[in-house]
Structure 1
Amino acid sequence: MADGLLAQSRQPGIEALGFEERLALLVDVQHTAAYNAALRQRLKAATLRQTACLEDLDLRTPRGLDRTLVATLASGQWIRTSQSVLLTGPTGVGKTFIACALGHQAARDGFPVLYRRLPRLLDDLAIARVAGRHRSAFTKLARTRLLIIDEWMMTRLTADQRRDLMEVIDDRHDRAATILVSQIPVSGWFDQIGDATYADALLDRIVHNAHRIELRGESMRRRTTVSSETDTATAT
């Protein structure tokens, strides 16, 4: 507010405004500064893999991305009602970008967000268990309003990994929102979990009442490379 007051004093004709109007401008400056500071903290804590936002999302390239669903997710209501988003598709079609864009929007809406690759998440939980910090690790994950897990079910789980993942998902079921990103289709997750009982329990908590985005098509990275080469050749 002090900075705002100094900036006001340098504006020509500011004396024409009344006390209430100038105070309202200062309050607006303070509110914006506090919001931006909190947003920076949330984004830093989120450790999103990519810098992405929904405004930059490519909806023209045909890859199975529904505009209506994107608009629905942009509203953030699915986070408030503790639902899940399942993002599947081949390499390079933009799964991680979309997940990070949704995470960025959630942070802008005031929700704590956390991005983790599943292999790293499971390693961290295993280390925390050995160090006797597993309870606090599970509590932190449970309290995160939006958890993004990338590289979901890329490899078959071990018995310890199934147990830890079950605890994470069960803590979040109907209490917090989750985004799962995977190259493996949902139909292949059962086998990757590796145990029928755990698979039934996990999928029951994940799949039902979830928004599904099943991407298809060629790699966006390849399209970008080809486009850049074409532009270079044209310029030459």
Structure 2
Amino acid sequence: MSIMDTALRDALRALKLSGMLETLDARLAQAHGGELGHLEFLQTLCQDEITRRDTVAFQRRLLRAKFEQQVTLEEFDFAASPKLPAAQIRDLAALRWLHTGESVILFGPVGVGKTHVAQALGHLAIRQGAGVRFAKTSRVLADLAGGHADRTWDRRLRELVRPDVLILDDFAMRQLTAAQADDLYELVSERQGRSLILTSNRAPSDWYPLFPNPVVAESLLDRLINTSHQVIMNGPSYRPNKRPRAGGTDKTNKPSIK
């Protein structure tokens, strides 16, 4: 290794350009072989660094999302349930709703793939640079309730407002207390202009009776439902196809879907 090569490596380390450092040997070989001119050599090294940073940022966003499973729409088996609105779901994959600050409601019976689709849309949003957070609705409400107890409610709310996309799984599962309804109202209000993805076993029209205060229900749900893309996911449960077979494991090796 020449003195100049050593100096270049030291400079790249000092500038924390590890993407360039990792590919330097390969790019130098290309340059010595006449495959890259001076300008192309520099451009290629810069692109290597950009690629590394994009990859690191993507992995960081993926970790922050706290998905139950890392799944994609490409993995979803639409053929397993022909009744599912495949065209509507694929249209959502264009993420126009994200860019306009709209929301998505996926509702239908247990096991048809609502959580898979919700997380897959979140994965697509992360690929486009968006911040995403996935959580069970019950856990979000419990977390906010804890904030009332220890006076950290404002901070906990801000953490839920921050992501570009908040996925609330198993929304409207049971009757809400007045405090829970108020917390949901504040969360949805503070996230106005930022996208939500909700999954629910109930149709949106059935959510109103779950709120103890009709005024809160009307104010929250009217705003939420009228700015959302609603997808009815119907059909047989996908889960029986994913059960482990007797005497062995499930050879499909696909994630469970709900």
Q: What TM-score does the superposition give when structure 1 sets the normalisation length?
A: 0.89
Give the total of aligned pairs.
229
Residue 116 of structure 1 deviates from its aligned partner by 0.9
Q: Which amino acid aligns with 2:195?
A: A
160-169 or 131-140: which moved more? 131-140
CA distance in 2, matches of 1:75, 1:148: 17
Deviations 1:74-108, CA, capped at 9 Å, x for gaps: 22221121111001111111110000000111111
**1:120 aligned to 2:162?**
no
CA distance in 2, matches of 1:176, 1:151: 20
Residue 12 of structure 1 deviates from its aligned partner by 9.3
89-98 or 130-139: which moved more? 130-139
Residue 195 of structure 1 deviates from its aligned partner by 2.2
Task: Identify which of 211, 231, 253 aligns with 1:213.
Answer: 231
Residue 64 of structure 1 deviates from its aligned partner by 4.1
**Whose Rg is larger?**
2
Task: Identify which of 103, 115, 120 aligns with 1:101.
Answer: 120
CA contact (8 A) 1:65 1:213 kept: no
Superposed, 1:168-183 pairs within 5 Å as: 168-173=187-192, 175-183=193-201
Superposed, 1:77-226 pairs within 5 Å as: 77-173=96-192, 175-225=193-243
Residue 15 of structure 1 deviates from its aligned partner by 2.8
Q: Which amino acid aligns with 2:163?
A: T
What's the secondary structure of 1:216's corresponding residue?
A: coil
Task: Identify which of 80, 84, 92 aligns with 1:73.
Answer: 92
Q: CA RMSD in A?
A: 2.1
Task: Check 1:162–1:31 CA distance in 2 against 1; reply closer, same or farther (3 A cut).
Answer: same
58-67 or 114-123: which moved more? 58-67
Structure 1 unmatched ranges of 5 or more: none
What's the secondary structure of 1:16's corresponding residue?
A: coil
CA distance in 1, matches of 2:33, 2:160: 49
Residue 7 of structure 1 deviates from its aligned partner by 2.5
Structure 2 unmatched ranges of 5 or more: 1-19, 250-258
Q: Which amino acid aligns with 1:187?
A: S
Residue 14 of structure 1 deviates from its aligned partner by 3.7
Q: Which amino acid aligns with 1:16?
A: E
